[in-house]
Amino acid sequence: MLNLHVVEARFGDCFVLEYGSGASPRYLLIDGGPGEVYGPYLKPLLEAIKSRGGALDAAVVSHVDDDHIHGLLDLLTDLQWQRVREKPEVIAIGELWHNTFSETVGSDVQRQFSQFLDRTGPMRALLGQSSLMSRDIAQGDELTRAARTLGVPVNSRFGQPSTITVDRLPRPIVLENLRLHIIGPSQASLEALRTEWLAWLAAQEEQVPAEPVEGVARALRRADASVPNLSSIMFLAQADGHSVLFTGDGRSDHILQGLTQAKLLDADGKCHVDVLKLPHHGSKYNTSPELFQRVTADRYLISASGKHGHPHKDTLRWIVEAAHEEGRQVEILATNWTSSLHGLLESHDPQTYGYQLTVMPEDAHDTVLKLTPENAPSCPFRLCRHG
Ligand SMILES: [Zn+2]
């Protein structure tokens, strides 16, 4: 069995993958969305899973951005509260998988970065929105601490150093019938990111006193967007002949590199999946026509609300045009209506281009994509003809 529960995660990501057998389903949580997602949307789904006797084999944090990590932190806070008061717990979590900022980009970058912020003095307040400054990284550290308090092992199956990268995990992680092929981040992309950051910080040594405050703030915002995003854990989940590609907030060239490194591309340098979760909520800076020509899917999943212009109209156009060129019928599944989706319907007629657009109903907490037929192929009570 392979089902994907898509949680209404506003402008972030939150998914629950269901695998195992119909009689004994297993679950993996991928990201927890931003604030206001756990209470109204994720918690009811986890409670429903628990009421059926389910638990989370693992919770995965793709990267330490608020729109991915906040809901997970809310879940662990809830669990801590329930543990202290000896109340029934929302759900059991087997493991936490998470790349810390200092492990991925390097503690020297983190140290130099805080020294840089110390030097900026009064500008610090202006940079309060910078996730690199503290908030998201602190949330990442807080998440690790909360997991340890609850006795949830963090990356324990990966050995030391425990960073999750395509280089360190060349073989798939096996959970029952589920195979997880890590495709990102790679050591090379993390190293490039680290070098870029050290160079940027070195340049600031000279510039900080002279550069206008807004210039530095702008550069930081740009770095904010790139550093955690580009260290996103990305993986291909496969079970019973079906697959979902999770891309976090990664970038198209890194996705293609990772798929190549994990030997998941065919002789033409292509691969096909059932569901492609669009990177970075469908930002045009994280996708490309080449991505959609080489990684094809039956369904393109977009978790976005229109915030930051996500999904971008060019991304939507590239998906539809790549599929149309090959005569593939595809479905675009979005968690919320956005102006770019309305625009796509106007510029690219679904009938002519051969695509279907499905948007989650406004009052839905989540929706489930059933990738395997009911009771097949792992139903223990009847002979299955598949696999
Ligand atoms: Zn995001």
Q: Over the stretch 215-260, which tens digit does the pLDDT of each residue have?
A: 666 666 555 556 667 788 999 999 999 999 999 999 999 999 999 9
Question: Measured in angstroms, how far is the CA atom of residue 327 from the centroid of ligand 1?
Answer: 31
Per-residue pLDDT for 168 more than 60?
yes
Which has more pLDDT, 48 or 213? 48
Q: Across 122-126, 173-177, 226-230, which has the greatest mean pLDDT?
A: 173-177
What spacing in Å lies between the alpha carbon of 386 and ligand 1's midpoint?
37
CA of 232 to the centre of ligand 1 (A): 10
Q: What is the Å distance from ligand 1's center to 50 Cα? A: 27
Q: Which of 107, 161, 95 is nearest to 137 (CA)?
A: 107
Question: How far away, in angstroms, is 248 Cα from ligand 1 center?
Answer: 7
Q: What Cα–Cα distance (Å) separates residue 42 from each residue in 25, 182, 247, 296?
A: 18, 25, 20, 29
Q: What is the pLDDT confidence band of residue 197, given thresholds at 50, 70 and 90?
A: confident
How would residue 381 be classed by pLDDT, with cut points 50, 70 and 90? very low
**How many whole angstroms from 283 Cα to the centroid of ligand 1?**
10
Ligand 1 centre and the CA of 33: distance in Å?
A: 8
pLDDT score at 231: 80
> How many Å lie between the centroid of ligand 1 and the Cα of residue 136?
12
Per-residue confidence (pLDDT) for residue 365, from 0 to 100: 94
d(CA 66, CA 74): 11
CB 270 within 8 A of CB 296: yes
Ligand 1 centroid – CA 82 distance (Å): 29
Q: How far is the CA of 310 from the centre of ligand 1 (A)?
A: 10
How many angstroms is it from 301 CA to the middle of ligand 1?
14
Q: Which of the pair, 119 or 279, is modelled with greater confidence?
A: 279
- Ligand 1 centre distance from Cα of residue 343 (Å): 22
Instruction: Return the pLDDT at 133.
Output: 47
Q: Give residue 378's pLDDT.
A: 45
- Rounded distance from Cα 208 to ligand 1 centre (Å): 29
Tokens of 177: 């019938």
Ligand 1 midpoint to CA 184 (Å): 16
% residues pLDDT > 90 (the chain): 68
pLDDT for the residue 110: 72
| Cis geometry, peptide bond prior to residue 172 (ω within 30 degrees of 0) | no
> What pLDDT was estimated at residue 191?
83
What distance in angstroms lies between residue 31's CA and the mean position of ligand 1's atoms?
10
**What tokens does 38 get?**
């756990």
CA of 179 to the centre of ligand 1 (A): 24
What was the pLDDT predicted at 111?
77
Inter-residue contact 128 to 134 (CB < 8 Å): no
pLDDT above 70 covers what percent of the chain? 83
Average of per-residue pLDDT across 140-168: 90
3-state secondary structure of 180: strand
- Sign of torsion over alpha carbons 96, 102, 103, 104: positive
pLDDT band (50, 70, 90) for residue 159:
confident
d(CA 276, ligand 1 centre) in Å: 15
Q: Which pLDDT value is given to residue 373?
A: 76
Q: DSSP 3-state assignment of 360?
A: coil
Residue 196, pLDDT score: 76
Distance 61 CA to ligand 1 centre (A): 11
- Each residue's pLDDT tens digit, 282-329: 999 999 999 999 999 999 999 999 999 999 999 999 999 999 999 999
| Ligand 1 center from residue 303 Cα (angstroms) | 9
pLDDT of residue 207: 60
Type and span of the H or E element at 331: strand 330-334
Which 8-state DSSP code applies to residue 51? Answer: H
How buried is 168 (Cβ within 10 angstroms: 0-12 exposed, 13-18 middle, 19+ buried)? middle
Question: Model pTM?
Answer: 0.88
CB of 229 within 8 A of CB of 249?
A: yes
Predicted local distance difference test score (pLDDT) of residue 221? 59
> What is the overall mean pLDDT for the chain?
87
CA of 63 to the centre of ligand 1 (A): 8
In contact, 332 and 282? CB cutoff 8 Å = no
Distance 171 CA to ligand 1 centre (A): 27
